[in-house]
Amino acid sequence: MGSFKSSGFILILHLLKGVLSNSLIQLNNNGYEGIVMAIDPNVPEDETLIQHIKDMVTQASPYLFEATGKRFYYKHVAILIPENWKTKPDYVRPKLETYKNADILVAAPDPAGNDEPYTEQIGKCGQRGERIHFTPDFIAGKKLPEYGPQGRVFVHEWAHLRWGVFDEYNNNEKFYLSNGKREAVRCSAAITGENFVNKCQGGSCIRKLCRPDPQTGLYEEGCVFIPNKQQKEKASIMFAQSIDSVVEFCTEQNHNKEAPNLQNQKCNFRSTWEVISDSEDFKKTTPMTTQPPTPTFSLLQIGQRIVCLVLDKSGSMSSDNRLNRLNQAGKLFLLQTIEQGSWVGMVTFDSAAQVRSELRQIKSGTDREALTKSLPTVPSGGTSICSGLRVAFSVIKKKYPTDGSEIVLLTDGEDNTIKVCFDEVRQSGAIIHTVALGPSAALELEELSKMTGGLQTYASDQVQNNGLIDAFGALSSENGAPSQHAIQLESKGSTLQNKEWMNGTVVVDSTVGNDTLFLVTWTTQRPQILLWDPSGKKQNGFTVDTNTKMAYLHIPGTAQVGIWKYSLQASSQTLTLTVTSRASSATLPPITVASKMNQDTGKFPSPMIVYVTIRQGAAPILRARVTALIESVSGKTVTLELFDNGAGADATKDDGVYSRYFTAYDTNGRYSVKVWALGGTDTARQKAASQRNGAMYIPGWIENGEIKWNPPRSEINTNNLQDKQLCFSRTCSGGSFVASNVPKGTIPDLFPPCQITDLKAEVQGNNLINLTWTAPGDDYDDGRAHKYIIRISTSILDFSDKFNEPVEVNTTGLIPKEANSQEVFVFKPENITFVNGTDLFIAIQAVDEVNLKSEISNVARVSLFIPPEKPSLEVTPPYPSVSINSTIPGVHILKILWKWVGELQVSLGSG
């Protein structure tokens, strides 16, 4: 990078609009509409579930309205009903609503027994979440004691989803020390309750008041906070919406800034209401003066997939072998990607449009082969995209309404009349996926995808990158069972000279193997193709298409699990290999890889973020090796290794979401994204994400002086990893984005180091403090920072807006490591009073070589607790062994007794 930098760009992270979402939600006159709530296809048919969903939203709307100062309510919700449920007259076909863009998913608990409501959040504070998850039992009201009324929980999750706020409790750290006093993590601090241990085994439980740990000063392991059923405090919904009195979000006035929770860690101690008030929703609304109407609902049932290919055959398609490459990619889509039972039509266009095939249902291989024969082979004429779209609408309308249908639009040409048909596209209710081929495809093409919720992709003329085949391979159905979706195991290419070999391996893991296809393409003449299965048996029988320059082999039945080896030999030409498969079983979820960017447009110098999610069902896949190849329209490619380390661009460690900043802009225009994910000896599947953002489970309630315990929470054991040798290979298209404002010539270096988000601190012997964090880079999370500034204070407020005032730590000798390395720094506080009971707060700022500074890190906290020198008197009150459903009477008497014991311990220890 050059030396031109400006400290003003320290704030460019705030220019990020939020994680790119396919959501259809719109805010219309204070009311949210376009909300899509989908019932998973694996949920058994139950009509009452639909009514429960309606009841939950109807209950939630006035609660949301009052909690937001009469600003927001739920206006309309679409309920997406599975195709395998019985058809009813009031069920209509969806338009743009799909499982992919559903905002709320109702699905069976995964793992079984865990009905915890939660929201996927892969972005930072203030960035919208991905999706809310509920289970049928939760929706039906079977978890009321643990989580409270469903409508209140929905509002809690909605705040995660819509406004990017975080939880104000902490399951991993339930208590903290404040000036030597033990406090439960809660917001507001005015919520009252008691602290108890509840240990259950074999149908009986030991329940007792919590004892202090003499080494840490905190409570013993297993201690939980039990709230009083009767409260006066109104905040906060992001702590425990299940408390009857709680009807508000925490504000700046009552927010507990000391509590070690995600809201404080990720939002720089801002209250939830401050974050909500900073949202675009809030800024464009004013409080209503009348009560909102009751929510309305539409019932939408998924139907058969209807797809029409709209393919450019203009004269420019003769360049760079584009038309033949279109045939190769089109054949993969028709022979493999498109699901059985789908209806497919085909339209081509140049200066005008032609129907190549009316809608045809895919029932057999014969139907697939017949459709491949309709692909265009002769390029000629100009480019009229609207003509192609209009004829496609007419093809679909001959058999079905265009609502919910899909159009795959491919073009390589410019068309200055494309906007003429935008209104027709909007009114059609069709989803349009766009494939921009080559450097000159119409600049307005992506607008069609944006307005209809379709996938946007870009494929360059660099054949070895296999971009066109990847783009068509990404067009699996957004609805239906995952077992029917095509999964790409490999996509690779190479230009070979003088009988060179392209050798490699493909892993077929136990979750895939059905309908497996090996596809080889070439640019001049047929190469030598060798393929061996895991047992070493050579595979023969490739079908060769010399006209299209491709060969493919379908593996009968379920492909053998293990490592498949291939060798391809050629001279003076480019070869590609693509391997696709489907799930091995309808009951075993396949390992899936999905990729997205945080935005569909990148304005220099704002960075882009690549996100890759790896799952098996709902279980995250950890410690995979994930890389992204980002190719600009100029042909330059950048390879990024992605991380799931909770640092840099990655919001949460070990949640199966791998992330990385992209700053290597080189030109304006389109950039394509391709992802590889490999599992090896260290890769593992976790039962569930270690940290979910969702409604707090209440272990019990104190009512009239007695504790009424709830059933034990289904614990998520973060150390319980399954299949610790989870070998697999996946590749997928991550779509495309468009860059603008990139300077010509030398690109100025305007990128600061990224914010440190995982700073941790511990007190060691002799009052030493041990700090650990993940190193940022020179440019966000790339390269190496120049230095660190570490500051400490006894007041947490010093880090809100005046980082230069707290005491600076001497960091002489602390040389930053390469980005994403683990940093460790030990120091002894100086120029500050650090005695027993002191709370110390620590933050870091990274600085690059020309003095561009990162945002202030999360603030780490340590409390100095010096254990008593003399042994404490052991006083053991009788603790009753009780059954799971019993209560503990006389809480206040036990509290007084234990308070006396604690005071006696302290007096003996200090005497």
pLDDT, tens digit, 9 for 90 and up, residues 233-268: 999 999 999 999 999 999 999 999 999 999 999 999
Q: Does 104 lie in the same domain as 37?
A: yes
Q: Decide if 269 contacts 257 (C-beta within 8 A).
A: yes
Residue 359: φ, ψ to 5°: -55, 130
Q: Does 358 lie in the same domain as 216?
A: no
Q: Decide if 239 contacts 230 (C-beta within 8 A).
A: no
Which of 255, 286, 303 finishes a domain?
303
Positions in the chain whose pLDDT score sits under 50: 1-18, 718-719, 872-886, 893-894, 896-911
Which amino acid is it at 158? W
Q: Residue 363's beta-bridge partner residues?
A: none
Residue 401 lies in a domain: yes
Q: What CATH number is attached to the domain comprising 417?
A: 3.40.50.410
Residue 449's CB: how many other CB atoms inside 10 A? 22
Q: Does 719 lie in the same domain as 622?
A: yes
Report the alpha-carbon distance of residue 169 to residue 910 in Å, rounded.
Answer: 33
Q: Strand 562-570 relative to strand 500-508: parallel, antiparallel, unpaired? A: antiparallel
Residue 438 lies in a domain: yes
Contacts of 260 (CB under 8 A, 6+ apart): 170, 173, 176, 185, 861
Report the alpha-carbon distance of residue 659 to residue 641 in Å, rounded.
Answer: 9
Q: Which residues of 132-158 are buried (b: 16+ CB within 10 A; e: fewer)?
A: bbbbbebbbeebeebbbbbbbbbbbbb
Q: What CATH number is attached to the domain comprising 783?
A: 2.60.40.10
Report the alpha-carbon distance of residue 137 to residue 115 in Å, rounded.
Answer: 7
| Residue of 246, 261, 272, 146 lying closest to 190 (CA atoms) | 246
Given its phi and psi angles, is residue 389 left (phi above 0), alpha (psi -120 to 50 degrees) or beta?
alpha
Q: Does 421 lie in the same domain as 500?
A: no
Residue 722: φ, ψ to 5°: -105, 155
How far is residue 883 CA from its own chain's centroid?
41
Report the alpha-carbon distance of residue 261 to residue 168 in Å, rounded.
Answer: 5
Helices H / strands E in the chain, number of each: 16, 51
Q: Does 501 lie in the same domain as 431?
A: no
Tell me which DSSP letter residue 606 carries. S
Q: Does 194 lie in the same domain as 46?
A: yes
Kindly state the tokens that stand for 134. 């509920």
State the total domains in the chain.
5
Residue 53's CB: how many other CB atoms inside 10 A? 23
- What pLDDT, in 10s, does the model give residues 744-768? 989 999 999 999 999 999 998 888 9
Residue 107 lies in a domain: yes
Report the alpha-carbon distance of residue 456 to residue 435 in Å, rounded.
Answer: 6
R_g of the chain computed on alpha carbons: 30
The pLDDT score that the predictor gives to residue 701 is 95
Question: SS3 for 589?
Answer: coil
Kindly state the tokens that stand for 380. 């000629």
Q: Decide if 612 contacts 595 (C-beta within 8 A).
A: yes
Angle between helices 47-67 and 150-163 (to 10 degrees): 70
Report the alpha-carbon distance of residue 643 to residue 781 in Å, rounded.
Answer: 10
What's the order of all strands across the beta sheet hosting 343-349?
353-361, 343-349, 306-312, 406-411, 431-437, 456-459
Catalytic (active site) residue 715: no
Residue 901 lies in a domain: no
Which of 257, 284, 303 finishes a domain?
303
Sign of CA dihedral 256, 259, 265, 266: negative
Residue 735: φ, ψ to 5°: 75, -150
Q: Please report which residue ranges of 429-566 form alpha helices under DSSP H.
A: 445-452, 467-473
Residue 508: φ, ψ to 5°: -100, 110
Burial class (CB in 10 A: 0-12, 13-18, 19+), 336: buried
Look-up of token digits 């790409």: 488
DSSP string computed for 784-831: B-SEEEEEEES-TTHHHH-TTSSEEP--TT-PPPBTTPEEEEEE---S
Residue 880 lies in a domain: no
Question: SS3 for 563?
Answer: strand
Residue 239 lies in a domain: yes
Q: Residue 762's beta-bridge partner residues?
A: 770
Report the alpha-carbon distance of residue 623 to residue 659 in Å, rounded.
Answer: 13
Q: Does 564 lie in the same domain as 425?
A: no
Q: Does 128 lie in the same domain as 274?
A: yes
Report the alpha-carbon distance of residue 440 to residue 472 in Å, rounded.
Answer: 19
pTM of the model: 0.91
Q: Decide if 739 contacts 668 (C-beta within 8 A).
A: yes
Q: Does 654 lie in the same domain as 534?
A: no
Residue 884 lies in a domain: no
Report the alpha-carbon distance of residue 146 to residue 246 in Å, rounded.
Answer: 15
Q: Decide if 684 contacts 722 (C-beta within 8 A).
A: yes
Q: What CATH number is attached to the domain comprising 493?
A: 2.60.120.380
What's the order of all strands across the beta sheet hosting 637-642?
601-603, 728-740, 669-679, 625-632, 637-642
| Residue of 231, 234, 229 lying closest to 247 (CA atoms) | 234
Show the beta-strand stretches assigned E in 223-295: 223-227
Report the alpha-carbon distance of residue 205 to residue 210 in Å, rounded.
Answer: 15
Burial class (CB in 10 A: 0-12, 13-18, 19+), 6: middle
Q: Does 320 lie in the same domain as 294?
A: no
Q: Residue 433's beta-bridge partner residues?
A: 408
Q: Residue 299's beta-bridge partner residues?
A: 79
Question: CA angle, corner 133, sides to 131 and 136, nearest 5?
Answer: 145
Kindly state the tokens that stand for 333. 């889509």
Report the alpha-carbon distance of residue 13 to residue 594 in Å, rounded.
Answer: 24
The pLDDT score that the predictor gives to residue 498 is 96
Q: Does 258 lie in the same domain as 343?
A: no
Q: Decide if 755 contacts 855 (C-beta within 8 A).
A: yes
Look-up of token digits 């390029």: 379
Contacts of 532 (CB under 8 A, 6+ apart): 538, 539, 564, 565, 566
Report the alpha-carbon distance of residue 890 to residue 706 in Å, rounded.
Answer: 6
Q: Does 650 lie in the same domain as 616?
A: yes
The shares of helix, strand and coil residues in the chain, as percent rounded to the nearest 5, are 20, 35, 45
Residue 873 lies in a domain: no
Contacts of 277 (CB under 8 A, 6+ apart): none
* Catalytic annotation, pick one of 157, 168, 274, 478: 157
- The residue range of the domain holding 679 is 609-727+736-740
Polymer length in residues for the chain:
911
The pLDDT score that the predictor gives to residue 722 is 59
